[in-house]
């Protein structure tokens, strides 16, 4: 394609004809995954193996024009809608992204149930919402907003349990808990007060550090019983650079987020860890990973870009959400897994609220 010898349509048609078990060709698969994600993965291979970069340069022409693939209204290698199938139609493993018309400002907070009752919109029109949590004691829902990817405008938002009184509790430019591209972990009170920087893994003012996904902090969970909090640093996409760290809830005397010496790397060489939760009673840490090859205990696989995770410790269930628009429930060991929402718009974070 980069040399103008063939088109995405011709390549996909040839692929499907030669390998009849596939419904999608490579161009459609790349559109479904996202061209910027494909470019990031390929950049890793180029760096590690000394490969030529012409194909990434070709993809960059699409990315720079805002043609990111199925999730973009401008389309990708194919025109808009080619890799999106209508609800209820058969779709292949890679057709896992559902593109809203305005992807940066059409986020929603949804309420559902494991019995599969229809999803109810609680809050709409949000800018890239991500992680989410609920405090029944405070009577509020809290979520992070990633903001516009090219800007330093992330925030933490909150609303009442009925979706009213939506407000920013941590102003733009900062995130509660993890600030991915900011390379930081924060904490604050439910009202946004007592904001405290806990971990600083890089300097945003330095391009080489800001552009290093191995420094990006993603998921966070707290274990009061052990006196620690845990977080993920994802690394390049599916490059086995991911790590999980822990540090003390209390900051060591005389230390700050960049100099504290109680940080410990718990797991490393993970494909791409994202969200995580702790089962304190059994001393088990669970996490989602967008890759599947791992040296650690695999509970469930085959999710379409796993993101959100929540544990129902009372009933011994795990809940997970993926970018393919599916929410799953399973036993703590991965058994009896089932989908109770499927073929929806891409999900990010989720949280379980006890009945």
Strand pairing partners for 221? 230
Residues sharing a CB contact under 8 Å with residue 226, sequence separation 6 or more, in sequence order: 280
Whether residues 297 and 206 fall in one domain: yes
Summarised one tens digit per residue, pLDDT across range 22-74 is: 677 888 888 888 888 888 788 777 877 788 888 888 988 888 888 888 767 78
Report helix, strand or coil for 215: helix
Residue at 351 is within a domain: no
Residue at 71 is within a domain: yes
Whether residues 91 and 135 fall in one domain: no
Identify the band that residue 96 occupies on the pLDDT scale cut at 50, 70 and 90.
Answer: very low
Whether residues 143 and 291 fall in one domain: yes
Whether residues 310 and 193 fall in one domain: yes
Contact 68, 83 (CB under 8 A): no
Whether residues 86 and 230 fall in one domain: no
Count Cα atoms within 13 angstroms, Cβ side, for 5: 3
Residue at 169 is within a domain: yes
Contact 145, 130 (CB under 8 A): yes
Whether residues 125 and 161 fall in one domain: yes
Domain count for the chain, please give it. Answer: 2
Whether residues 158 and 120 fall in one domain: yes
Distance CA 302, CA 330 (A): 13
Distance CA 316, CA 195 (A): 33
More confident residue, 80 or 59: 59
Where residue 322 sits, what CATH number does that domain have?
A: 2.120.10.30
Distance CA 119, CA 67 (A): 30
Domain boundary among 48, 65, 99: 99
Residue at 151 is within a domain: yes
Determine what percent of the chain is predicted with pLDDT higher than 70. Answer: 88
Contact 299, 289 (CB under 8 A): no
Range of the domain at 334: 107-341
Whether residues 184 and 71 fall in one domain: no
Distance CA 157, CA 277 (A): 21
What value does the mean pLDDT of the chain take? 84
More confident residue, 91 or 80: 80
Q: Could you tell me the CA-to-CA distances from 25 to 20, 61, 78, 83, 308 in Å, in that order?
A: 10, 21, 11, 10, 29
Give the range among 19-28, 138-147, 156-165, 187-196 with minimum mean pLDDT: 19-28
Residues sharing a CB contact under 8 Å with residue 241, sequence separation 6 or more, in sequence order: 213, 214, 234, 235, 269
Residue 132: predicted pLDDT: 92
Tokens of 105: 């400002």
Domain boundary among 64, 99, 134: 99
Distance CA 29, CA 157 (A): 34
Domain boundary among 99, 122, 140: 99
Whether residues 195 and 258 fall in one domain: yes
Decide if pLDDT at 89 tops 60. Answer: no
Whether residues 173 and 92 fall in one domain: no
What is the pLDDT averaged over residues 315-332? Answer: 93
Contact 165, 178 (CB under 8 A): no
Residue at 348 is within a domain: no
Whether residues 193 and 72 fall in one domain: no
pTM above 0.75, yes or no: no
Residue 174: predicted pLDDT: 41
What is the pLDDT averaged over residues 198-213? Answer: 92
Residue at 352 is within a domain: no
Summarised one tens digit per residue, pLDDT across range 242-256 is: 999 999 999 999 999
Of 213, 232, 223, whose CA–CA distance to 273 is shortest?
Answer: 232
Where residue 82 sits, what CATH number does that domain have?
A: 1.10.1040.10
Helix count and strand count (H, E) for the chain: 5, 19
Residue at 249 is within a domain: yes
Identify the band that residue 172 occupies on the pLDDT scale cut at 50, 70 and 90.
Answer: low
Distance CA 193, CA 246 (A): 24
Whether residues 8 and 143 fall in one domain: no
């Amino acid at each position: 394609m980069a040399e103008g010898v063939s088109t995405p349509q011709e390549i996909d048609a040839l692929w499907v004809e030669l390998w009849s078990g596939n419904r999608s060709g490579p161009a459609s698969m790349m559109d479904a995954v996202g061209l910027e994600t494909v470019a990031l993965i390929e950049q890793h291979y180029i760096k590690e193996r000394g490969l030529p970069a012409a194909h990434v340069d070709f993809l960059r022409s699409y990315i720079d024009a805002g043609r990111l693939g199925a999730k973009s209204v401008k389309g990708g290698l194919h025109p808009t809608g080619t890799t999106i199938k209508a609800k209820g139609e058969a779709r292949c493993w890679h057709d896992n992204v559902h593109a809203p018309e305005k992807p940066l400002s059409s986020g929603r907070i949804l309420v559902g149930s494991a019995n599969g009752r229809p999803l109810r919109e609680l809050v709409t029109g949000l800018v890239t919402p991500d992680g989410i949590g609920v405090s029944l004691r405070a009577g509020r829902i809290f979520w992070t907003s990633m903001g516009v990817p090219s800007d330093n405008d992330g925030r933490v938002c909150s609303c009442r349990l009925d979706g009213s009184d939506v407000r920013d509790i941590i102003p733009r430019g900062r995130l509660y808990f993890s600030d991915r591209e900011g390379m930081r972990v924060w904490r604050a009170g439910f009202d946004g007060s007592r904001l405290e920087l806990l971990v600083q893994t890089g300097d945003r003012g330095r391009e080489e550090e800001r552009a290093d996904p191995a420094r990006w902090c993603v998921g966070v969970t707290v274990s009061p019983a052990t006196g620690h909090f845990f977080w993920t640093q994802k690394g390049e996409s599916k490059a086995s650079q991911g790590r999980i760290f822990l540090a003390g809830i209390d900051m060591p005397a005389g230390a700050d987020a960049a100099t504290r010496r109680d940080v410990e790397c718990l797991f490393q060489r993970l494909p791409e860890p994202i969200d995580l939760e702790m089962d304190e009673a059994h001393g088990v840490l669970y996490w989602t990973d967008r890759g599947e090859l791992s040296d650690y205990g695999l509970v469930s696989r085959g999710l379409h870009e796993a993101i959100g995770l929540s544990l129902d410790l009372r009933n011994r269930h795990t809940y997970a959400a993926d970018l393919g628009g599916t929410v799953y429930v399973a036993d703590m060991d991965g058994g009896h897994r089932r989908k109770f929402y499927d073929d929806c718009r891409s999900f990010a974070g989720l949280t379980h609220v006890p009945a």
